[in-house]
Amino acid sequence: MGIPAVQTKLGKYATQKVNEEFKTDINIGKVGLQLNGDIELKEILIRDYKNDTLISIGELNSSIISFKNLYNSKFNLGDIDIQDLVFNLKTYEGEENTNLDVFVDKFEDDNPRQGPSSFLFSSSDLSIENGIFRLTDENLETPRIFEFTELNANTTNFLINGPDVSSRINKFSFKDSRGITVDNLKANFEYTLDHMNFEDLSIKTEKSELKGGLRFDYQREDLKNFTNKVNVTASFKDSEISLTELNVFFDEFGVNQRASLNADLSGTLNNLEAKNLNVSTTRNTRIIGDITFKNLFAKEDDTFALDGNFQNLASNYNDLTALLPRILGNAIPTVLSKVGNFKITGTSQITSKRINADIEIDTDLGFVKSDLELTEVDDIDRANYIGNIVFDEFDIGKLINDPKAKFVSANLDVDGKGFTLDNLSSNIKGDVFSLEYNGYKYENIEVSGDLGNKIFNGNLIADDPNLQLDFNGLVDFAEEKKKFDFKANVGYANLRVLNFVTRDSISEFRGLVNMTATGSSLDDASGAINIKNTTYENQDSRYVFEDFDIISSFQDDERNITINSPDIINGNIKGKFKTEDILKLVENSVGSIYTNYEPFEIEEGQYIDFKFNIYSKIAAVFFKDLYLGKNTFIEGRIETDAKGFDLTFNSPEIKFKDYFANNINLSVDNSNPLYNTFIEIDTLSAGVYNASDFTLINVTRRDTLLVKTEFKGGKNNKDVFNLNLFYTIDEANKSVIGFRKSDVVFKGYEWFINSEKNNFNKVRFDRTFSAFDIFPITINQGNEIIEVSGIISDSINKNLRVDFKDVELVKITPRIDSLDLAGVVNGKLDLVQKEGSYLPKSNLEISNLFVNDYDLGNLKADIEGNNSITNYLVDVSLVNDNLTSFLAKGTIDVAEKRP
């Protein structure tokens, strides 16, 4: 028995007996057997029914506990060490059972052998070193399902009892051909004809650790349809999973993420229910609830479904779609990327064709509740939907990128498609409880109609304390050519409270607006606007307008705009023009007569003919104290040609507050060789000073506009003004206005401006009227001189100065009854502003001061103010014949109520 050849022959005899009894193909190349029962088997080969390798073992070392049992097909072994194991589990082409199924069937009761199987294989400790396990199905497009290499394992209490297998797996490590390495798998393993169980399961990989239990229940014939027939029961607690590794088995997860997992699983792999699911990812996504996954591993396309009942789904768009990029990325509209972090509760059913969502969403922008059915979800941003959506204090402005819009609360039924502004096309009906827009919170709005990207066609009724509105019709900004076809009955609109008007403290509008028009801009707009029974009330008055029509039409490329209102304005505009160029046309027409003028670049060939009668009522709406007399009209023509500017304005009367002018006639004609502008006014009143017989005429000579104006003023019109001015544009494209030699008779004294006819006496300024240079303007009567000069840099920096030299006081003070002043003024007045702070200063001396013929002597006043013009340092003295009759030095503060 100690001879190896004899031992090998006995081993072959034993395997032959097994092969004969069970019709198997088991071969052992060499057998080594010691007297103490230790056995060494080499070159073990088990062939399958296709004569291919099922199991091969390079070397197996163990000990035989009972030779008698071995003879009776009961392999009671001690410790088993297996080296170089190869296990090929294969389903052949056209077959349903694996080669292992066929092999195991040979030991079952349906074997021709009568009676139950007596096959027994047991070991107290089984170790495998450097094994290979392959799973192959030749009926698949890719036959090799997976391959485990570098397989090392250790089990205890290993038992094969007929078709049943059980063991405690202490160690099980391998490399998967799909790229994952299992560092260790531990479990209490059990395999029978109807179930396979992994109790106390622990699986560790490089990046994952799974803890719990796993059980498969099946009928033997179900194994060939594992994903649909085999029932899975599992419970995982306190597990950590790498989604990158999980993609080896289900390639739908994001990468470079980890998740903690607690869940109870049941069902088949293609109908798998996860209850008590609690998932937290490293990207701060938290999922608590119950989810059923259908057709996770289905061969057919577009059969996947997810049915979720969420107690808490906390995440944001980027993190959640990164968890399952294809499944959730295609199911969640991109508009959710704008709501920030959110928490979802409720139920949702997701398939490749349809989504049902009855959920509540608490977001960074506010609360949303939706009960929607979505279809055509393969392009989720263009999906169709029907159902109900509720907003509660939701910041709609951030969602649609409109800074004027803020929080909305609404309950809307929706039926349409599209989740982005570009794709939106939906019928909506419901209530808007509140909406903050332009700084006002609207309330009680009913809406019903079609809503799209910059389009609304339907009915909107507002019952807000500050807006009573019934709107019915179309407003369409979607196309390049906008469309308007609506009626709006404005019962009441407080434009001041609604923040559309800020100038008036009261601004209330009522009226009926009917508009039918199209156009991409004001330049090609055509149609009609009719406003009826309109009232406008501000703090000054209540204005009633019965009817107002604006009609715009085109004949070829000439435009005609007619405005007709007996209360506002009547007239028309005709021509070829762009609205944005009208003011530029006017400025170019005036400025182009100067060589240095740089005209605005505008399209050539534009012209405007216009004529309007203007009524006082409309003027008062925009300027509360403005009144225009009857028959006020303006007409003229503007062309791109430099000489194509013709304007006539006539009004019998214009009033503004305490100012008024009578019989105003203005005529402008750039083509007139005698004059360009002529103005004539009968009387003028400026409150403190009145004038009459005002005329102004100008003409252009050698790139300079020469202006001559004459008028009378003062008491009994005894003051006479004869002013000669000029206007030009210098090489720096700045405007220059100045005085040629002019004379003024004031209080019977004749004064001259620029009597020396020099190049000073002018003011230079830019187009924005923000910066001014005042060159010395000299006014004199003989040796009496007043000089004005200074610089204005901007609205907060200026330096202005007035100098007096030997000026008689009586000649420059206004006429005041019962007050006669006399004396000679010398000195200066300075007004300085630096960065908004004023620094006024005066140094004046009045010698021989007389008041009503009473000699007061010489007055000297030095006064300097602070930056608020409320505190002054004063040094004032009055000296007569060397006697100081008045002296004041110190500070005067006028900031307080009692200075």
pLDDT of residue 828: 93
User: In the block, which residue shows the tokens 């750039």?
Assistant: 670
Q: Which of 193, 211, 226 marks a domain boundary?
A: 193
Per-residue DSSP letter, 466: T
Q: Closest Cα to residue 104, out of 230, 217, 220?
A: 220
Measured distance CA(640)–CA(604) in Å, rounded: 6
Q: Distances from the Cα of 93 to the Cαs of 51, 145, 226, 621, in angstroms? A: 15, 14, 17, 92
1 found inside a domain: yes
Measured distance CA(857)–CA(848) in Å, rounded: 5
pLDDT of residue 113: 47
Measured distance CA(482)–CA(471) in Å, rounded: 18
**Number of domains into which the chain is organized:** 2
Longest dimension (CA), the chain: 162
pLDDT of residue 5: 62
681 found inside a domain: no
Give the type of residue at 619. A
Per-residue DSSP letter, 420: S
Cα angle: 877, vertex 883, 888; to 5 degrees: 25
68 found inside a domain: yes
Structure tokens at 109: 């009761």
Q: Closest Cα to residue 37, out of 57, 63, 60, 62?
A: 63
CA neighbours within 13 Å on the CB side: how many for 487? 4
Residue 669's contacts (CB-CB under 8 Å, 6 or more residues apart) are 645, 646, 647, 675, 676
37 found inside a domain: yes
pLDDT of residue 19: 83
Alpha helices in 687-767 (DSSP H): none
Phi-psi region of 756 (alpha: psi -120 to 50; beta: other; left: phi over 0): alpha
pTM score of the predicted model? 0.65
Measured distance CA(415)–CA(450) in Å, rounded: 9
117 found inside a domain: yes
CB 697 within 8 A of CB 677: yes
Element (H, E) at 692: strand 690-701
SS3 221: helix
pLDDT of residue 282: 84
Per-residue DSSP letter, 15: H
Backbone angles phi, psi at 71, to 5 degrees: -65, -30
pLDDT of residue 189: 92
Neighbours of 74 (CB within 10 A): 16
pLDDT of residue 408: 95
Q: What is the DSSP string of 133-149?
A: EEEEETTSSS-EEEEEE
620 found inside a domain: no
Structure tokens at 123: 């070991």
pLDDT of residue 108: 58
Measured distance CA(879)–CA(885) in Å, rounded: 6
Per-residue DSSP letter, 380: G
Q: Which of 193, 217, 237 marks a domain boundary?
A: 193
Element (H, E) at 793: strand 784-794
Q: Which of 193, 210, 237 marks a domain boundary?
A: 193
Per-residue DSSP letter, 787: E
> Domain range spanning residue 131?
1-193
617 found inside a domain: no
Low pLDDT (below 50) residues in the chain: 1, 109, 111-113, 115-116
SS3 590: helix
User: In the block, which residue shows the tokens 């019965």?
Assistant: 546
736 found inside a domain: no
Using one digit for the tens of pLDDT, what is the confidence trace for 134-185?
989 888 778 887 899 999 999 999 988 877 889 999 999 999 888 889 999 9
